Amino acid sequence: MTVYFYGADEVPYGCFSNFSDHGFGLDCVRWPTSEHYFQAQKFKGTRHADLIRRARTPLRAAELGRDSSKPLRRDWERVKDDVMRCAVAAKFRAHADIRHILLSTGDEEIVEDTTTDHYWGRGRTGNGKNMLGRILVRTRHQLRAELADTPDGDGCCPGR
């Protein structure tokens, strides 16, 4: 059965949300959530990125990341999927409990159940791209390969 998630506090799959309270280290610094990492990468290397990293909540990080008065890095559209892959992989590598939840979904499809996001989620029509769900599926595959110690995980984060 397809696994749906959205709210970060939902049990058990809220941990699939980028707003879930699971920090990790990446690029030599600590990130409170994958949302903080994702939003900050839009402005990588700037003071605004640092402000996002230090935002008190993931919602605040998202608000700062969507501030249209700040210029996005020029390659954002090209790299944003890879940035999300890195964030999600780092989060699930850092926390055994949620890694277990992700692996426990077997081979099921995973869908971010939001009507407002047609790119990262299923969107209003239900036919959205569901990129976050697809990245979670790919991460699950990668983590399984790593646990089996096979050279199938892609490990690197191009475009960062």
Q: Where are the alpha helices (DSSP H) in the chain?
A: 34-41, 47-53, 58-65, 76-94, 96-103, 131-147
Tell me how far, at minimum, the Cβ of 6 lies from ligand AOF, in Å.
6
- Element holding 5 (H helix, E strand): strand 3-5
- By CB under 6 A, tell whether 18 contacts ligand AOF: yes
Q: 3-class DSSP state for residue 25? A: strand
Q: Does 38 contact ligand AOF by CB under 6 A?
A: yes
The answer to whether 65 contacts ligand AOF (rule: CB under 6 A) is: yes
Rounded to the nearest 10°, the torsion over CA 102, 105, 108, 114 is: -60
| Other beta carbons within 10 Å of 52 | 27
H or E, element range at 111: strand 110-112
Number of residues that bind ligand AOF (CB under 6 A): 12
Residue 16 interacting with ligand AOF (CB under 6 A): no
Residues in 45-64 that interact with ligand AOF by CB under 6 A: 62
Q: Does 43 bind ligand AOF (CB under 6 A)?
A: no
Q: Which of 55, 86, 98, 132: binder of ligand AOF (CB under 6 A)?
A: 132
**What does the alpha-carbon distance between residue 63 and residue 120 come to, in Å, rounded to a whole number?**
16
Tell me the per-residue interface mask from 102 to 131 with ligand AOF, x by CB under 6 A, - otherwise: ----------x----x--x-----------
Q: Is 3 in the site for ligand AOF (CB under 6 A)?
A: no
Binding site for ligand AOF (CB under 6 A): 17-19, 35, 38, 62, 65-66, 112, 117, 120, 132
